[in-house]
Amino acid sequence: MSEHPRIHGPLSVAPMMDWTTPSARYFLRLLAPHVRLYTEMVPAVALWHGAAERFMPFHAAEHPVAVQLGGSDPAELAHGAWIAEQWGYDEVDLNVGCPSDRVQSGRFGACLMLEAERVAECVAAMREATALPVTVKTRIGVDHHDTEAFLDTFIDTVAAAGCRSFIVHARKAWLSGLSPKENREVPPLDYGRVHRLKARRPELEIAINGGIADSATLHEQLRQVDGVMVGREAFANPYVLACWEHELFGTEVLDRRAAVEAYLPFVEARRSEGVPMTQLVKVLMGLFNGCRGARAWRRVLTEESQRRDAGPAAIEGALAQVAPQAAA
């Protein structure tokens, strides 16, 4: 919708701990060449203490790829943003949406919505440290701070520090009393709040997140905001990304079977580096959902990937369970 330069673009896959691992991102990229990918959240303090080799590696095929940082210390986040640029990421995103206790005890994530000035300081420090776009992923509110005015003030304060692109999970977070999982389900979605934010600040790039799982909703949202970020559906039913890639960008996408075959050399290479097979197949589990043989595919994949010497053959074995016409 916006005529201003776009960072997020029309579609991305959300940052998800334990899910958007480098291997999962590599596979999702095979399905959807133009969709923006986000890493799992990387604690800025870990990078500060020199753990970049553990958290930052990614495959060149993953572009466009954003690294999401968690933190609330401007110096640590600035350092993290600089590291992100050194490693060749396309964007640095700040997590202001995660409500887990572990994250709150480090005073970052969703609780930072209560400290807009601090988030602005962090964004300013990050922008100073890197030429990469700096974005913020947030919620529509926290606890009883959930009025439209609260969200507006938060966004305006952070935008004044130079953030041009926000991803808004269209539900608030309860900082205590709900688990992170419940915080993704219990507070009701309010898409209208995000649409009104875009209408009020049309020059900002606003992507919406939360509960988007079908094509009609995707296109409906794109009439109101600049982009959609999809989380759980990308793993429940990864092939939806290929369908949406085709709809949005006109790309001739791989069918399911071809995508799996294209993933095998990567699996072989990662296995030789010691990446557990169970981690490499996690992103594949939902691939054939809705197709004949989907259940056998999941079962064989689960069983075979647990063997100590498991390799690409486990995936080929599972593929043999799926009807050939289930390719497309």
Ligand X SMILES: Cc1cc2nc3c(=O)[nH]c(=O)nc-3n(C[C@H](O)[C@H](O)[C@H](O)COP(=O)(O)O)c2cc1C
Handedness of CA 67, 68, 74, 76 (dihedral sign): negative
Tell how strand 65-70 and strand 11-13 pair up: unpaired
Of 41, 241, 242, 285, the residue at the interface with ligand X (CB under 6 A) is 41
- 163 is annotated as an active-site residue: no
Q: Does 80 bind ligand X (CB under 6 A)?
A: no
Tokens of 193: 């709040």
Of 6, 164, 184, 196, the residue at the interface with ligand X (CB under 6 A) is 184
Q: Does 209 bind ligand X (CB under 6 A)?
A: yes
Amino acid code (one letter) for 17: M
- CA distances for 79 relative to 30, 50, 121, angstroms: 31, 10, 14
CB crowding 20-43: b at 16 or more within 10 Å, else e: bbbbbbbbbbbbbbebbbbbbbbb
Binding-residue pattern over the window 139 to 178 for ligand X, x denoting contact by CB under 6 A: ------------------------------x---------
Q: How far is the CB of 297 from ligand X (least distance, A)?
A: 22
Q: Which stretch binds ligand X (CB under 6 A): 111-119, 158-166, 194-202, 225-233?
A: 225-233
Q: Does 210 bind ligand X (CB under 6 A)?
A: yes
Neighbours of 147 (CB within 10 A): 12
Neighbours of 275 (CB within 10 A): 16
Q: How far is the CB of 177 from ligand X (least distance, A)?
A: 18
Name the β-bridge partners of 70. Answer: 43
Q: Does 95 bind ligand X (CB under 6 A)?
A: yes
Of 44, 92, 98, 301, the residue at the interface with ligand X (CB under 6 A) is 98
Of 44, 230, 240, 277, the residue at the interface with ligand X (CB under 6 A) is 230
Residues near ligand X, by CB under 6 A = 14-19, 40-41, 68, 95, 97-98, 137, 169, 184, 209-212, 230-233
Catalytic residues: 98
